[in-house]
Structure 1
Amino acid sequence: MKKYFAVLYLGVFIVASLSIWKGGEALRNQQIETLRIDSFEQLNQLASILESAIAKYQHMPTLLASNDRVKKALRDGLASDINQLNRELEQINRITEASDSYIINTDGLTIAASNYREEASFVGGNFAFRPYFKDAIQGKPGRYYALGTTSNRRGYYFSYPVYDGNSIIGITVVKVDLTQFEKRFANQNYEFLLLDPDNIVFSSSRPSWLYRVLGELSHVELQRIADSQRYYGQSIEKLAIVYQKPFDEKSQIVDVLENTMTNGTEVLERLSFLRMSRPIRLLDFQISILAPLNTINEEISLWRAIFAGGVTITALLFGLAMLRTRMLRERSDANEMTRHNQAYIREVIQNTQAGLVTLDESYKIESFNPAVEKLVGQPLAPLVGQPLSRLFQLDKQDASALDSHMDFLEAANDLGIKVLTREGHLCYSEQALVAVEMTLCEMQLPNRLSYLVTFHDMTERKRYEQEITQARIELEQRVRERTFELEGANVRLRDEIEEHKGTQRELIQTAKLAVLGQLSAGLNHELNQPLTAIRAFAGNGLTFLDRGQYEQAHTNLQHISQLGQHMGDIIARFKVFARKGDVQQGPIAVQTAIMGALKIMSPRYKEVAIELVVTEDQGFIVNGDMVFLEQVLVNLLANAADAIQDAPDRQRRVLIEQIATEDQVNISIKDSGNGLSDDAIRHLFEPFFTSKSSGLGLGLGLSISLRIVEAMGGQISAQNRPEGGAEFCVRLPRFNHPTSQSPAKKSNKEI
């Protein structure tokens, strides 16, 4: 029903709004039509007056051209004749009310003018550039309109040639000032515009509209107007028409933005007009009347406001009537609901499982429900009018009392609310005491103060609390026992972890020594060659000393010193490689680690004739441990050598490459062996797994290498190369990230 009325009200509102809007539009169109009829008559009248007023001047140049004194002044040029002609022109202007009359010779120079007495006289001015002069000098009557370059006044010009026989000896010009017409029609109830053929406002009742164009002018047209000097430096701008809509075939509704003065402040105002136009063929102009519509718009707005107010008042009255009817209906429903609620509350009170007792303002019992008698186990009628303490006693641990109103207020203030909850027991029964939770709250009744007391049986809850307390004690005892057992297990586990770490370190050291054992033959070869050379250089040196050739002996001693240093470097590298220790993180140069591993592996590679190719140093720095990284690289190089020896028919070549990303450096070791089987790839890094011949390895090298690389925060992986052989890749985190680094060109260098 509510939804139905809401839709009905919305429909009525929409219909009323549309009626007000459409009615206002119809009334507005009717008033505009009346205004159009009146304005059209005014337009015809204005056009006739303007056309007749200007037409009377069009023959004046012809009459002046036939004047003998004009011809004589042009022909002879005597000062006396020109002075007399100036006075006659001045007199003619006073009689005809023309603006200006002047005589121009064939060179375009003004020799006489009606305004010869004025400071801005035309006498001496050259107007050969004006179109009216050019037409008349060719023997044709001239017509022209422009803003005067000398007087700075707008006017319409008529010109005619002056003949002496068949020769043109000068030009007569009459200028009609349009300002007099603007003043004449300035106080009308409309605005008028006089538009030239380019739709530029040449005359208007509003001075601010002068030289404004209605429509658009191209750049070529604007340049043509500027070259003609018709408006003598005046800027041609567009009239600010912001809205334009045809009303009928002969009129339009236009809105114009105009700056107006309001209380001394310039305000941009939007003016609405009804525009009607007609041509003035004599001048080749168009005249327009703009009748203001603001009054009509204000009247329509007022009519709409009055009508809307009436509709609103009617709707309010109807709404008030509906509201009163609804209030009466709701009051009846409320009374019925009250009776229903009272019966419902009585049933709830009588059948609730919680005990309810009401107290008066002195905390004396007024009434109770059957649930309280059920808790106590006997009737409570004798307690009516007795204090609450006869029925309920607090537990000993609660020192608060409820024997007085002041005690209740103090307890309630401590809680910040008008509700108080306490635990105690019902003491009226001669049987066992009943443990209950009492809640007392204040009831603000219309005429008096009362309290409602609620009793909840806590017998089961007390039993549960005792059981929970006993269970918590037993649980705490079990937790203490279990904690003691866990502490012992933790001690044993820590001991096992320490033993495991020691075993792991020994295992890594064993792998190192195993590699050193495999390389011992190559090491002997590397040390034997320098020793042989040292013996040769020493023998030669003794011979040189015996012969007194000290310089050659000195050279042999230098060679012996260099060979000794070389042997010391070889032995030092093996000693560093063989030392024990944990992974120590820090910045290390990748190229340095590679070269250290190569010093260890070079003897073996030379022994088995394997070509070792290393890319150029890229300057990469990673975060890791130098010795342990060398151990990983030695393990991978040793495996690569074993793989190549197992493939005697393939090319014997190992390639070491360095590639860096933004966060990591990849070290790849590629061999030309037979590659890895699928089973080997799956179990490659498992301890004691090996794909070598029996007795050639323990299967711990790659497992230990994996743990070392992961301890340094990196990864190690293996895959088969498309062209044959295997590729192992060690990825380690970069220590720093240069902001700009030109990519280094790679070049291969044989070791």
Structure 2
Amino acid sequence: MTRRLIVFIVLAVGLAVVCALAWSLAWETGIDALRRNAAVRGDRTTAALKSTLERYESLPYLVGAHPLVQDVLADPRPEWVAEANRYLEDVNRHARATTTYIIGADGRCIAASNWRGADSFVGSEYRFRPYFIEAARGNVGRFFGIGTISHDPGYYISQPVRRGEKIVGVAVVKLNLEWFPGSDASEPLLVTDDHGVIFLSSVPAWKYRTVRPLPAEIVRSIDQTRQYARQDIAPLPASVERVLPGDADIVRIGSGLRAPRYLETRRALGEPDWHLVTMSPIDPVLDAARNATVMTGFGYVSLCLLGFYWRMRRARVREVLRSRAMLQKAYAMLNDRVAERTADLSQANERLQREVAERTRTEQELRATQDELIQASKLAALGQMAAGITHELNQPLAALRSFSDNTRVFLARGLYDSAHENLEAIGSLTERMGKIVNQLKLFVGRAKPRSQRSPVVRALRNALALLGKRLEGVRVDLTLTDGEAAPVPLDPHGDAPELVAQCDDLRLEQVLINLIGNALDAVAGLPDPRIVIDIQALPATLAISVRDSGPGIPDDVMPRLFEPFFTTKEMGQGLGLGLAISSSIARDCGGALAAHNGPDGGACFVLTLRRTRMGATAATTAGAMAGATAGMGEPKPQDTSSRTSNQEGERT
């Protein structure tokens, strides 16, 4: 009896220890999972909030840099104030801010984007606001508070407005952050200011509460700046039950045993000095810990019962001994089966060895075949490179012949100035042909082209000059589309220093010559041939589209459009390399070349390149280079007896 009691006590103590370990492990695992989920939610919310704040960080500076704003702050004439109101209204509408306004050096609002409304800020005084004080000192002001006029909460960003070396006023942008936090109220999210006041919360009842008691001087400062006007700021009824490592606590909101408990994690947002607080309910962790403890207890009891069953089972082993004779017979049969199996394994081993030898021989043949394929690939690449260089030299050679024929005519007629211009053009084309030949090492080494800046209008002007003879009788429309605006006519002989693509000059002209030459092939023989070249200028990219009025691209040809040596032209009229080379150039420059059929018929090729900005020096240099090539903008008059060699352009 005593032995059984001791066994029972030992088993009971073991049950208690196992349940405690299961509870502790489940609790730690659940808390870690909550912290990871809270970190993910915090990262997502922090990124969204900081992205919104950073998006408008520079807007007050841009507003203050406008000459109209500086003039009206220095001299608030009524007509200038009216114009400033309309300007701020337009800026605020496009920037999608809440309110944009400017404040004079005396702290009074001069103009605002809401000047039309009943709650207009115009005429209000803001000398007491911290964002005005900081900006008046020459710093960037950041402040969250409730508006004294609109009574709506918002985030204020301010910048000083300077005229010369003097600060003449302050430009302010107000943002509405009431979209925060965009998550379920079951898992609250809070944002506190540097004083610990909750000003953003997914639980409305927690707004304008404090996470800790405020000192008297902080309360007076909030009242003086009217940061949270008409709000009774009281501490949030929260108590810390357990402090966890890594800025995390288990807190209880409210009083009583039924008050909800949360895992509170905190993180700093940086600038401004705010903190994001995530509150994750721990009730699911408690439920999971209880379930794990119960399941562990049942498992432990089951193991104990299994032990008792095993002891009872041992008593029956004696009965098994009576079957020894049968077991010996079965053992003999097993030996026979093992011998048979051993023979089968020996045969399988021999087959495996033969298969290994066969695979070794096959692998050697595969390596030899692979070496032959590599050599063949090298030869094919060499042939494609030589054919591509031959294709790109055809255009300058044809232009050289045209310019040389024209020069003879001009010399015969005594037009020496025109002859001199043609000779300069011949020299430029010769230099260009040298650059094309020098690019052989780029094709051989598979090197990326250098990052250069190429004025698009200049490259387009040079391409049209090379194709001048073929463009006779073809209507060419040049347009410029700035963002979402409607297309406007583009003068190819004008200067457009803002349209600069990140691409090598020569390669950009090669692509344009190929695309325009393809369009000319498509409209050849049509009654009313037309080509439309449009440059769409976006902030980050420049898209050059070449559309023609031809028959378009067949559906069966479209998938193979950019394959090397693929062409639908007759023998001798094209190598099928133009579009392949153009697509390769676009990729090397970080862009792309695409093709599709237009809605009104005809094919459309779109070359997209990254856009870059030119400084003043670069713009002046580009203008000088454009003037040097102005003589190539229009084809020179030539004798009817002179002929221009056929321009080769690839089109599928």
Shorter-chain TM band: 0.3 to 0.5
Higher RCO structure, 1 or 2 (CA under 8 Å, sep 6+): 2
Q: Give the TM-score normalised by structure 2.
A: 0.43
Q: Give the TM-score normalised by structure 1.
A: 0.37
